[in-house]
Amino acid sequence: MPQRSIGPFQVFPIGLGCMNFSHAYGTPPPPEQGERVLLAALDQGVTLFDTAALYGFGGNETIVGRVLKPHRSRITLASKGGMAGVQGDDGVMRRVIDGRPEAIRRNCEDSLRRLQTEVIDLYYLHRWDKKVPVEESVGAMGRLVEQGKVRALGLSEVSAATIRKAHAVHPIAAVQTEYSLWTRNPEIAVLDACRELGIAFVAFSPVARAFLCDALHDVTTLEAKDIRRTMPRFEPAHYARNLQLLPGYKALAREAGCTPAQLALAWLLHKREYIVPIPGTTNVDHLRENLGAVNVKLQPALIERLDAHINQRTVSGHRYSAQSRSEVDTEDYPEA
């Protein structure tokens, strides 16, 4: 299987986003379920594993570190700092974006301990803290490289302009942002900036948070703490319009000879050779299905029809709430 490059690393074309084991989509599964998925991913040849200090307020890194420690030499391990859980005076853990150098150093030390490793292969700035120049945050991350605690640096949810500022301070190996048929923001400028600078693009939520798997038909069944409840395109009125896209999409998947989830991933793999999708799942069968996308060949004419069917003009609702949009630096399309 041809590998894809992320900085100095060669990885299987599809990685594993580990967030789902501990964070974001309602009640997390039992830890042993996450363990089964991690070990199955290793068995299937996955080499890129992506976690973060924020996920489960450290719990995700703890699971990933415990399970993958015996296999550390076989994998590329990615984590993120600059956004983590902080315990308030009331004892409640809350998400805090903090890009100050001292916070990044502390986040990294905590991650190294939880991951049970001496070095993190790919360390991202999870969010750019707009109160701190990105050059300061990346400078602190560069010192982690000098100290041997991190091998390569990444950025998450940033614009092309911010990528260029950061890359001038220290080489950036990867940029991670949501990208799928229904979230096209990276096409505005970030993908081209990555190509120009030799940076890998890591696509999270590549199957549109289950929409492109044809796995979510009734959003009213989502748990109260499921983050999709805060996302406009999952609001019932928007989602009802988006569901109208699925019949045509499933017909294209049948034409391609694959499942809807595999079509979404294959589309990304065909888009650019420097894109590495990182779908997440808590189900071993879904994992295997996702990885099967590497064998799906799409004809240019079918890709054109896909692009025309699901894109920023045909999808109803924004990907993030107004609050979440204020926290990211990605370029955005004008409101329709």
Domain ranges of the chain: 4-327
β-strand 93-97 against 83-87: which pairing, if any?
Answer: antiparallel
Bridge partners, residue 71, by sequence: none
What is the CATH topology of the domain spanning 4-327?
TIM Barrel (3.20.20)
User: Can you give the pLDDT of all 336 residues of the chain as single tens digits?
Assistant: 789 999 999 999 999 999 999 988 989 999 999 999 999 999 999 999 999 999 999 999 999 999 999 999 999 999 999 999 988 888 888 999 999 999 999 999 999 999 999 999 999 999 999 999 999 999 999 999 999 999 999 999 999 999 999 999 999 999 999 999 999 999 999 999 999 999 999 999 999 999 999 999 999 999 999 999 999 999 999 999 999 999 999 999 999 999 999 999 999 999 999 999 999 999 999 999 999 999 999 999 999 999 999 999 999 999 999 999 999 999 999 865
CB 98 within 8 A of CB 82: yes
Q: φ and ψ at 45, to 5 degrees?
A: 100, 5
Q: At residue 298, what is the residue type?
A: L
Beta strands in 164-271 (DSSP E): 172-178, 200-204
Cβ neighbors of 291 (< 8 A, separation 6 or more) are 14, 41, 44, 45, 46
Q: Which residue among the candidates 55, 123, 239, 320 is catalytic per the annotation?
A: 55
- Report the candidate in 259, 250, 279 with the shortest Cα–Cα distance to residue 180: 279
- Report the candidate in 237, 238, 234, 241 with the shortest Cα–Cα distance to residue 216: 234
Question: Does residue 55 have an active-site annotation?
Answer: yes
Q: How many CB atoms sit inside 10 A of residue 66's CB? A: 15
Cβ neighbors of 50 (< 8 A, separation 6 or more) are 15, 16, 17, 18, 19, 78, 79, 176, 202, 204, 278
CA of 272: how far to CAs of 15, 116, 131, 252, in Å?
A: 16, 34, 33, 20
